[in-house]
Structure formats: C-alpha cells, structure tokens
C-alpha cells in the first residue's frame, strides 16, 4: 500500500504548491530587510558607522534605543510573514487565535493584506530614500551628516529595502493565482 504525501509547500486542502520562483522571492524578502536592521543594531551598540550629529558620532540612548531595536524586530517579523504566502502555515489561522484558530485563511484576506503591505513598504522606503538623497546630498543643514564611508554603508544597507515591496507584490500575485483560481 502506497502512502503518497503532498509536497512540502502544498496545503492539504488544495494541493497546489507555490511556484519555485515565488518561494525564492518570499525567502528574499526577510533577507533584503536584514541589512538595514543590522545597521540600526550597530547604531544602538555604539559601533562607529560613520554617522555624525553636530560633529560627534551618533549614539542612541534610553527609550530611543528600545525604539530602534523594536523597529528592527518588528520590520523583520513583518518581512517573515511573506513566507506565509508560500507555506501551508500561512493558509490556516494558528489554533491559539480565538474564534479563527484552525480555520482556513480566506485568500481574499491574505491578498488584500499582503497587497496593502507591499504598497505601504514601497511608498515608505521610496519616500525615505528620496529624503536621504535630498537631505544628505543636497541640503544637509540639520547637523546630521555622514562620512563618505558612512554614507556608502547607509546606502548599501538601506537600498535593498526598495526591493521589499516589489518582491512581496510578486509573491502576492503568485499566491492569488494559485489560491483564487476558478
């Protein structure tokens, strides 16, 4: 007697695995968010990253440090949610959720939430990138500045965030095509 098992990325109810490119893209999402988080953690840890405020190296203190670490953890957690669009655990609500636990995630809910998230992070990071370029390359009048190496490090750590939205949108489209077919 043969016991066939469904592929790892397939949900037992629909049996449709995610496309390989979508799985790769979903795994890229947390990786493109990671460098900026590491940059922020280095800032909190006091690592000299080439950022200066009124001539002194930038440091965070007290609640500001808590905020920066929390932002980093929250951003990475949100980025990891992209994996739910290609894994079975993203197709069923966790059992510990009251009223919803164990029920199937409505595909329209997942698509709407992921699309809103993709558009949101695209707008936020495009605006932030524009702000950094205008402030640091054109204006730079607020006392906050970077050494050339520090600015290069900032750009190298934050430019990958510009991929977060488009990658998430591509994975969402794949999810929609897989889960919402007629």
pLDDT value at 135 more than 80: no
pLDDT value at 119 more than 60: yes
- Measure the CA–CA gap between 41 and 73, rounded to whole angstroms: 10
Cα angle 82, 122, 160; round to 5: 75
Higher pLDDT, 45 or 135: 45
Contact present, 53 and 146 (Cβ < 8 Å): no
Query: Which two tokens mark 182?
Result: 């007629």
How do residues 18-71 score in pLDDT, each as one tens digit? 999 999 999 999 999 999 999 999 999 988 888 877 777 888 889 999 999 999
Higher pLDDT, 8 or 71: 71
- Measure the CA–CA gap between 152 and 50, rounded to whole angstroms: 9
Contact present, 150 and 54 (Cβ < 8 Å): no
pLDDT value at 173 more than 50: yes
Query: Which two tokens mark 109?
Result: 């809910």
Higher pLDDT, 152 or 172: 172
pLDDT value at 98 more than 80: yes
Residue 140 has a pLDDT of 55
Residue showing tokens 């998430």:
168
Q: What is the residue-wise DSSP string for 108-173?
A: HHHHHHHHHHHHHHHHHHHHHHHHHIIIIIII--SSEEE-HHHHHHHHHHHGGGGGHHHHHHHHHH
Residue 1 has a pLDDT of 46
* Sequence-distant contacts of 147-151: CB under 8 A, at least 24 apart: 147/50, 147/52, 148/50, 149/50, 150/49, 150/50, 150/51, 150/52, 151/50
How do residues 138-152 score in pLDDT, each as one tens digit? 555 555 678 888 888
Residue 100 has a pLDDT of 86
- Which range is most confident: 47-56, 157-166, 172-181? 157-166
- Mean of the per-residue pLDDT values for the chain? 85
Region 7-20: mean pLDDT is 63
Residue 39 has a pLDDT of 94
Residue 121 has a pLDDT of 95
The CA radius of gyration of the chain, in Å to the nearest whole number, is 20
- Say what the alpha-carbon torsion angle 65, 68, 70, 72 is, to the nearest 10 degrees: -140
Q: What are residue 96's phi and psi, to 5 degrees?
A: -75, -10
């Amino acid at each position: 007697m043969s016991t066939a098992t469904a592929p790892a990325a397939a949900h037992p109810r629909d049996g449709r695995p995610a496309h390989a490119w979508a799985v790769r893209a979903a795994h890229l999402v947390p990786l493109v968010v990671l460098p900026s988080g590491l940059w922020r953690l280095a800032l909190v840890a006091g690592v000299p990253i080439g950022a200066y405020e009124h001539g002194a190296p930038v440091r965070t203190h007290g609640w500001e440090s808590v905020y920066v670490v929390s932002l980093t953890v929250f951003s990475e957690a949100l980025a990891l949610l992209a994996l739910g669009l290609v894994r079975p655990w993203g197709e069923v609500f966790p059992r510990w959720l009251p009223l919803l636990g164990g029920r199937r995630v409505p595909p329209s809910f997942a698509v709407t939430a992921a699309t809103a998230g993709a558009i949101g992070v695209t707008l936020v990071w495009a605006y932030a990138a524009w702000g950094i370029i205008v402030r640091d390359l054109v204006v730079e009048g607020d006392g906050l500045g970077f050494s050339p190496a520090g600015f290069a490090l900032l750009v190298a750590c934050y430019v990958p965030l510009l991929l977060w939205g488009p990658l998430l949108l591509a994975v969402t489209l794949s999810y929609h095509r897989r889960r919402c077919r007629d």
